[in-house]
Amino acid sequence: MRMGGIRVPHRKNTAQCQSVRLGVPAAVTIPMSMHIGKYARVTVSKGDTVKVGQLIGEADGFVSSNIHSSVSGTVRKIDEIMTSSGVRVPCVIIDSDGKQEKYEKLSVPEVKDFDSFVKAVKESGVVGLGGAGFPSFVKLNVHDLERVEAVIINAAECEPYITSDTRTMVEKGSYVFKGIELLKKYMGIRRFIIGIESNKTEAVRIMQSLADETEGVEIHVLPSVYPQGGEKVLIYNTVHRLIPRGGLPLDAGVIVVNVTTLAFIAEYMETGMPLVEKCITVDGSAVKEPKNVIAPIGMSIIDVAKAAGGLKCEPAKVLYGGPMMGITVPSMDEPILKNTNAVIFMDKKEAAPPKITACISCGACAAHCPFRLDPRSIARAYKLEDGAALERLGVDLCMECGCCSYVCPAHRPLVQTNKLGKQMLRRYLSAEQAKRENALKERAEKERQEKEAEK
């Protein structure tokens, strides 16, 4: 038995397209927040000369990530940029000199044990490259390694259009397995599961061939059912374990690592070059030539579009990521980020929203939800501003995969409502916590007054 989901058009138009390195842009805009957690602290100033791989943002907190220059050139200014989530964060704008000179202090990291391995991963600046953006060194810094029974390597890449992980497996498959050997050596893990969808035949063949030569690696070829790559879904469909509400993969005895993240860690250990570029899929109905490209982090989306062959028309919508869980970008001046795995350009026809009609209570949304949530009831509770009901209905479990909205015959914005519902739940829980704290204070004060009266 597997978790539910839906079958979506694959549209893997670029699966056979070898990744092409783009030219150096005139300038890059590098945000200090391209990861979950606190944004990095800027370590350069206006007018500074920087080189490729040089640290320009230092991790500022336990959950944070180092950031490095993707070009050589001069810092034009330290500014702010609004992220796609609406938050303003510092950024470093660098004018490229076109030379792409490497920072002279770069060196292959010295790794001798678990602690130095985690330190090296931190210094590389790598985060979850499948889209999540969680700092990888935090995930790997497990204090009780005996709890880790297996590492699940997420190679599902279930979103339509996106094939950048596929190209990693095809073009850099050896690095995936070098990454596995690193985790074996420094973390003592012996079981590795590569979860990959069945529609990636060439990647499956390559991964299986390498696995046959490597002890402890299993290839799980999974049905091409979205959202197969969702962390909780992948864990259930490979090791048949459920993560408890509010829990982490480690509570199920596993760590989940994106396949491109793992390959990068291995490559960094060989070269010492931190994360400064990203393979991304460029596709969509407005694109002239769908392809996979390697772009410097911070390169603007419009520059990527031009360098990748241009657009057929003015796009009506541009997405970071795929059409199911991707985020609409407010401007094509937005930069390529560490966790950008695709940029999808949609024409007016593809981007046109469907007409929303009344719910007919068909139950399709609940039937196809991977976690068997009831989006209809959640929407009702959200409309009534009923925080207790939202908690009872488990809106916090929603992974925002979009299955409910996709199958809804009334085209209701269910996933968007779930997202708003989670925000409402957080406010409700915060208010309830404040009420409990105030009640305890009032009780303590009452007891104090009673004791004073007795005296």
Handedness of CA 300, 303, 305, 311 (dihedral sign): positive
* Structure confidence by residue, pLDDT tens digits, 182-204: 999 999 999 999 999 999 999 99
Answer with the one of 351, 376, 401 that is the final residue of a domain: 351
CATH number, position 327: 3.10.20.600
| pLDDT band (50, 70, 90) for residue 87 | confident
Question: For residue 103, is it within any domain?
Answer: no
Residues 421, 377, single domain; the answer is yes
E-strand stretches of 234-316: 254-258, 277-283, 291-296
Question: For residue 258, is it within any domain?
Answer: no
E-strand stretches of 190-297: 192-197, 217-222, 254-258, 277-283, 291-296
Please give the pLDDT value at position 12.
97
Residues 344, 379, single domain; the answer is no
| pLDDT band (50, 70, 90) for residue 1 | low
* Structure confidence by residue, pLDDT tens digits, 156-184: 999 999 999 999 999 999 999 999 999 99
DSSP state for residue 342 in the 8-state scheme: E
The pLDDT mean for the chain works out to 95
Question: For residue 307, is it within any domain?
Answer: yes
Structural domain harbouring 422: 364-434
Question: For residue 136, is it within any domain?
Answer: no
Q: Provide the whole-model pTM.
A: 0.94
Residues 415, 391, single domain; the answer is yes
Residues 374, 347, single domain; the answer is no
Beta bridge partners of 91: 31, 79
Residues 340, 396, single domain; the answer is no
Domain count, the chain: 2
Cα–Cα dist 40/354, whole Å: 40
Percentage, residues of the chain above pLDDT 70: 99
